[in-house]
Copies of this chain bind each other. A is one copy, B any other.
Amino acid sequence: MAVQKLPLAKAINESLRTALDTDPKVLIMGEDVGKLGGVFRVTDGLQKDFGEERVIDTPLAESGIVGTAIGLALRGYRPVVEIQFDGFVFPAYDQIVTQLAKMHARSLGKIKMPVVIRIPYGGGIGAVEHHSESPEALFAHVAGLKIVSPSNSADAYWMMQQAIQSDDPVIFFEPKRRYWDKSEVDTEAIPGPLHKARVVREGADLTLAAYGPMVKVCVEAAAAAAEEGKSVEVVDLRSMSPIDFDTIQTSVEKTRHLVVVHEAPVFYGSGAEIAARITERCFYHLEAPVLRVGGFHAPYPPARLEEEYLPGLDRVLDAVDRSLAY
């Protein structure tokens, strides 16, 4: 295959296919992942090619899905679990937080938990309640979990490969409104580390840090800012636990301004952690406080209001202006 232009969803599909092909211990589990190929078709065709023993339609019970995935991992399997939508991960929250995350430590390292939990997340697709949320902070606070989110097809492919190969549980947040965005994937490339951030656009005056669906918005904001003569650097964080603070720090030491952007509510969100730590690391470099652009402290609104709710180009640029005005 080598280099190919693929939609993000298809890149994940290819990555899962590769994993099923190379490691017989890899399993796909979830609601409707079989014949239907998932409600977003991310697992399309996999059951047909790998059979019902490898690509498993589960009962409608998220705690059961994650709980049995833990048991399968104990038996030596590497389950890749799909949660149908962000808002439906909570029935599995207990198994994730009290069991999956802690099993390695509880066993003093004897047990490994190579489980990937795929969660299509975020808004912007005009959906009903519970289908547009960004709950990553609720997992990142929990030790024992790793949290990542790709912003483009190449990362989707490679980060999924790495997540499956990881001996730690990885929550893989898929930016559902980017599923159909095409970009290049080189399946023979040598990928960088899973938890390393990437500077996707260089700039001198201000750093925008984002991940998943908001990277695109930030790149567009940087382009718009450039037209006004502001040189904005964009960092794609890729990982929310761990966070690659070194890359952000390097950027901020240069630009002296940082704005963090995510869809999730700002209050207790990942922007808070980044702001707190980068302020500690770059106290004498920062010319403005770290600003945060994100969701409000309110339930994700009905679809007709999501454009206002979601941080868009204008809100990001507004924060850029406010930061630079300090």
Contact = CB atoms under 8 A, between A and B. Distances in A.
A283 interface: yes
Nearest to A279: B289
B140 A138 contact: no
Interface stretch (A33-41, A91-99, A110-118, A220-228): A91-99
Nearest to A283: B289
Q: How often does this chain occur in the complex, in copies?
A: 2
Interface string A140-167: 1111100000000000000000000000
A201 B83 CA distance: 48
Given A280-B291, A289-B283, A298-B105, A130 B98 contact: yes
A292 interface: yes
Contacts of A268: 137, 140-141, 241, 268, 270, 272-273
A276 interface: yes
A129 interface: yes
8 contacts: A87-B98, A90-B98, A101-B299, A105-B299, A141-B267, A275-B275, A276-B290, A283-B326
Given A90-B98, A106-B129, A143-B267, 15 more contacts: A90-B94, A105-B299, A137-B141, A138-B141, A140-B268, A141-B265, A141-B268, A267-B273, A268-B272, A268-B273, A272-B272, A272-B273, A276-B290, A279-B290, A280-B289
